[in-house]
Amino acid sequence: MNAKERIVVGIDGSEYSPTPLRLAGRLAAALGAPLEVITCVGFSDFYLAAHLPPGNPEMTTRLEEVATRLVEQAIETAFGQDRPPELSTTVKFGSPAKVLVEESKDAQLLIVGRRGHGGFLNQVMGSVSSACASHAFCPVLVVGQESGDE
């Protein structure tokens, strides 16, 4: 399958992550497209790791393990035993907005949540979803928290 056919969903592992995951799963099934779930370990996490005492070289691995665990929990909550057949997960290092915009180059659709860990001044969208909607190379679907509640 062509990478351009994939649907990318960016999640942060928060309690809001299952909502965009559910919608992404339904769209992937309807379009017969592979679904790639991407989460990012951001620069603030790198900053933390860079300022820990020396002799702790496995910090990057630990951050990746935590991110992977959060993604797996969100996938389990969203799909249970009914995972989409072509679902893959990736942990990337870097700014979530930058990473997801870059990933959108090889996707037919990028799906992000409207709100995750942030929440500043009652903004309608967070900074990551705003950046994705403004700069992605493919269509972007921004999913509100209430959209996937069933």
For residue 71, give the CATH number of its domain: 3.40.50.620
Of the chain, the end-to-end C-alpha distance in Å amounts to 31
Backbone angles phi, psi at 138, to 5 degrees: -140, 170
CA atoms within 13 A on the CB side of 50: 6
Range of the domain at 13: 3-148
pLDDT for 125: 63
Residue 143 in 3-state DSSP? strand
Write the CA distances from 18 to 48, 74, 80, integer angstroms: 27, 5, 11
Buried b (16+ CB within 10 A) or exposed e, 96-106: bbbbbbebbee
Single pTM value for the model:
0.82
Name residue, tokens 């950046």.
131
E strand intervals along the chain: 7-10, 35-41, 87-93, 109-113, 140-143
Q: Which residues of the chain have pLDDT under 50?
A: 1, 45, 116-117, 147-150
Contact 21, 39 (CB under 8 A): no
pLDDT for 1: 47
CA atoms within 13 A on the CB side of 125: 15
pLDDT for 60: 75
Our count of domains for the chain comes to: 1
Amino acid identity of 54? P
